Amino acid sequence: MARIDDTLAPSPDRLKLSRVWTGLRSFARGLVGWSPVIVLLIAWEVFARSGAVTPFMLPQFSSVLERIASDTASGELPVAMGLTLWRALAGFLISAFAGIALGLAMARLRPFYWFFDPIISVGFPIPKIAFLPIIVLWLGFFDVSKITMIVFNSIFPVVTATVVGVYGVEKELIWSARNLGTSERALTWEVMLPAALPQIFTGLQVALPIALIVGVLTEMAMGGYGIGASMQTASRFADSLGVFAGIIEIAVVGYVLVKLMAVLRARLLVWHPEALEPATV
Amino acid sequence: MTGAIASASFRYLPIVILLALWQAVSSLGWVSTAVLPPLTAVFEAGVRLLESDDFWSNAGASLYRGGMGLLLAIVIGAVLGIAMAWSRPVRTVVSPIVEIFYPLPKSALIPVTALWLGFGDASKILLIFLGCMLPVTIGAFNGARGSEQTLVWSARSLGASRLRTLWDVVVPSAMPELLNGVRTALALSWVLLVASELIVARKGLGYLIGFLGDGGNYDGMFAVVLFVALLGFIADRGYQAAMQRALRWRE
């Protein structure tokens, strides 16, 4: 009897043990997935210690970590990171809202389409970073010009994705909504926008890294604190530890943001078959 | 023909309106000409620049850096991507590294390449190569992996060697996505080139923009900015046209 109980309803101890076991297993699986990165970092450390290159060219990974730790403790890194994130995310959010609004207007109202389509199609491929000195001339050196530059660069993929997404909404969906008496306004907000959301989200997933790249670039070019500015200062003073610390910090932030967007996509679009479509750009 | 021209000019009318607005705003004195020089003045400054040797040596430096970096990125990136799709060991080793470096904001590499190779051509070429390689790699990998297995099997069963299958089946079917990756790389190369020249350089179009702006020659600065924008636009459109021609066999 006891044996049957045992197999049917595992004792709490056993449950705990099995939970620990699955936890360990998923940890191990994660470790296997990350192992190339770990190997890469170890290789970096070994190569830097081997003396084949000077510490100036490639400092040891461990000393870069120490530098990151000391910058964190001194409060320098949190401030710089906070500023960079604030600029990049503010620019990204403005791009997201303005881009979706403009895209919807273009897809639904012909005059908007006529006016903005050539501007978007000419503006998208040009290297907008070249306009940086003009933006500085107009708006100065502070956050406004940086965020403007970020919006100027990252709004394009959002607009095009929204237009393409709305145009791609199944005609049957629109016909049925119209047949059921949906107003044009509700059609835009309650039928087309949700149906185009997967495409729009893909546009946002393209825009986010652009916002981060341009944010760091403007900081490098204009100063004003932030990770980009501190990397540029470090580079100017030949402080290679500072430069490599910046790369690691930026890489981690970029990776986390990209992963967060993927998680957000899976959550928001859980009703949609394309929820797990990987972002390719 | 006239109909086509009419519809094209109607399509691009908004651009003309914007340019006319620019001219009006600054020549009517609504904004200071120091902040926004009139389009005509910018055009004149552009013509003067095109006649100077200084401009062409800077433009040459930029095109050389961009071209070399992009060429390296395309060749090495494509080979790496196809190798990843073709061989399991290569994929196991390389794909996590690609996945880690892909989301890295490429601008972070500017100070490092400057640290390693200084302010000249070599650091820009390395920067563009590193920054533009991964989109090509990922395009080539996705394209090559998507090549139809039946085609590969047929080629193999018809007696094609592994290498020949790779060259005649996998590479052509990887082409569309590969070329799309190259387009991303092309756009990125302009950004990295101009940005790195703005930030650390003593030559190049980006440097020239900063130099003219610092000297207060805003007519010239606007002219070079517009020239760079135009070059980027032409490069993208030209590439797209060439890509469509190259992929005609797909239809």
**A226 and A101 share a domain?**
yes
Establish if B32 touches chain A: CB-CB under 8 angstroms.
no
Residue matched to tokens 């990998």? B141
Q: What is the percentage of chain B residues whose pLDDT exceeds 70?
A: 98
Q: What is the nearest CA distance from B228 to chain A, expressed in angstroms?
A: 7
A92 belongs to a structural domain: yes
Residue with token string 């986390």: A256
Judge whether A275 lies within some domain: no
Q: Are residues A10 and A100 in the same domain?
A: no
- B130 touching A, CB under 8 A? no
Q: Is A259 helix (H, G, I), strand (E, B) or coil?
A: helix
Per-residue pLDDT at A15? 63
Could you say which residues of chain A have pLDDT below 70? 1-15, 272-281
**pLDDT computed for residue B250 by the predictor:** 67
What pLDDT is stored for residue A4 in this prediction? 46
Residues A202 and A224 in one domain: yes
Q: Are residues A67 and A24 in the same domain?
A: no
* pLDDT value for B238: 92
Q: Comparing A32 with B91, which gets the higher pLDDT?
A: B91
B190 touching chain A per CB within 8 A: yes
d(CA A120, CA A107): 13
Chain A CB within 8 Å of residue B20 CB: no
Reply yes or no on whether the pLDDT at B141 is more than 80: yes
N-to-C CA span, chain B: 26
pLDDT band at residue B74 under the 50/70/90 scheme: very high
* Helix A76-108 and helix A61-73, axial crossing angle in degrees, nearest 10: 90
Per-residue pLDDT, A278? 46
CA angle (B22, B25, B29) in 5-degree steps: 140
Is position A278 within any domain?
Answer: no
- Residue B89 forms contact with A (CB below 8 Å): no
- Chain A residue nearest residue B233, CA to CA: A126
Find, in chain B, the residue whose alpha carbon is nearest to that of A216: B107
Q: Does B225 touch chain A (CB under 8 A)?
A: yes
Q: Is residue A57 part of a domain?
A: no
Which amino acid type is present at position B113?
T
Q: Write out chain B residues lying below 8 Å of A232, CB-based.
A: 111, 199
pLDDT digits (tens, 9 = 90+) for A46-75: 998 888 888 888 899 999 999 999 999 998
What is the per-residue pLDDT across A76-112, written as a single tens digit (0 to 9) for each?
899 999 999 999 999 999 999 999 999 999 998 989 9
Domain contains A195: yes
Measured between its terminal Cα atoms, the distance across chain A in Å is 60
The answer to whether the CB of B142 falls within 8 A of the CB of A280 is yes
Separation of alpha carbons A98 and A55, rounded Å: 46
Q: Which pLDDT score, from 0 to 100, does residue A219 have?
A: 92
Does a structural domain hold residue A170?
yes
The Cα A212–Cα A217 span in angstroms is 9
Is residue A34 classed as helix, strand or coil in its secondary structure? helix
Domain range for residue A100?
A: 63-268
pLDDT, residue B137, reads 92
What is the SS3 assignment for B79?
Answer: helix
Do A160 and A212 reside in the same domain of the chain? yes
Give the ipTM: 0.83
Smallest Cβ–Cβ distance between A240 and the set B92, B108, B115 belongs to: B115
Determine the Cα–Cα distance for residues B114 and B100; give it in Å rounded to an integer: 22
CA dist., res. B120 & res. B174, Å (int) = 35
Residue type, A231: M
Tally Cβ neighbours within 10 Å of residue A36. 18
Q: Where are the domains of chain B?
A: 1-33, 37-250
In contact, B42 and B222? CB cutoff 8 Å: yes
Between A11-15, A149-153, B2-6, B114-118, the lowest mean confidence (pLDDT) is in A11-15
Query: Could you tell me if A242 and A234 are in contact, meaning their C-beta atoms sit under 8 angstroms apart?
Result: yes
What is the Cα–Cα distance from B179 to B185, expressed in whole angstroms?
10
Least CB–CB distance from A130: residue in B103, B115, B228: B228
Question: Do residues A69 and A39 share a domain?
Answer: no
Cβ contacts of A244 on chain B, cutoff 8 Å: 112
The shortest C-alpha distance from A255 to chain B (Å) reads 6
Whether A249 and A68 have beta carbons less than 8 Å apart is answered as: yes
Contact B74, B182 (CB under 8 A): yes
Do residues A167 and A207 both lie within one domain?
yes
> Whole-angstrom Cα distance, residue A22 to residue A19?
5
B82 Cβ under 8 Å from any chain A Cβ:
no
CATH fold group of domain B37-250: MetI-like fold (1.10.3720)
**Is residue A173 in a domain?**
yes
Q: A46 with A68, same domain?
A: no
A36:B230 CB<8 A: no
- Residue B187 sits at the chain A interface (C-beta within 8 Å): yes
Q: Kindly report the CA angle at A69 between A63 and A74, in degrees rounded to 5?
A: 125
Q: What is the dihedral of CA A255, A261, A266, A270, to 10 degrees?
A: 170
Over the Cα atoms of chain A, what is R_g? 25
Q: How many domains does chain A have?
A: 2
Selected residues 172-211 of chain A with any CB under 8 Å from a CB in chain B: 209
CATH code, A242: 1.10.3720.10
pLDDT of residue B41: 87
Q: Is residue A211 part of a domain?
A: yes
Contact residues for A225 (Cβ-Cβ < 8 A; gap 6+): A79, A80, A83, A219
- Could you tell me if A159 lies within 8 Å of chain B, comparing CB atoms? no
B233 in A contact zone (CB under 8 Å) = yes
Does B36 score more than 70 pLDDT?
yes
Q: Residues B66-87: what's their mean pLDDT?
A: 92
Dihedral sign (CA B31, A155, A126, A120): negative
3-state secondary structure (DSSP) of residue B147: coil
**Token digits of residue B88:** 């399991």
Higher-confidence position of B68 and A168: B68
Q: What is the DSSP string of B159-209?
A: T--HHHHIIIIIHHHHHHHHHHHHHHHHHHHHHHHHHHHHHS-SSSHHHHH
Nearest Cα to A155, choosing from A163, B88, B202? A163
Specify whether A140 is located in the same domain as A202.
yes
DSSP string, B203-228: SSHHHHHHHHHHTT-HHHHHHHHHHH
Beta carbons of B232 and B190 less than 8 angstroms apart: yes
Residues 6+ apart with CB under 8 A from B129: B69, B72, B73, B76
Q: Contact at 8 Å (CB) between B81 and B140?
A: yes
Nearest to B12 among A118, A240, A243 (CB): A118
How confident is the model at residue A14, as a pLDDT? 65
What's at A265, amino acid-wise? R
Q: Report pTM.
A: 0.84
- Write the secondary structure of A44-94 as one string of H (helix), E (strand) and C (coil): HHHHHHHCCCCCCCCCCHHHHHHHHHHHHHCCHHHHHHHHHHHHHHHHHHH
* Sequence-separated (6 or more) residues with CB below 8 Å from residue B51: none
Are A24 and A112 part of one and the same domain?
no
Q: Which residues of A touch B218 (CB under 8 A)?
A: 137
CA B198 to CA B193: how far, in whole Å? 9
| Judgement on whether residues A45 and A122 belong to the same structural domain of the protein | no
Mark whether A114 and A249 lie in a shared domain: yes
Write the residue in B103, B112, B199 that is nearest to A247 by C-beta. Answer: B112
Yes or no: say if B168 and B155 are a contact pair by the CB < 8 Å rule. yes
In this predicted structure, the answer to whether residue B79 has a pLDDT above a threshold of 50 is: yes
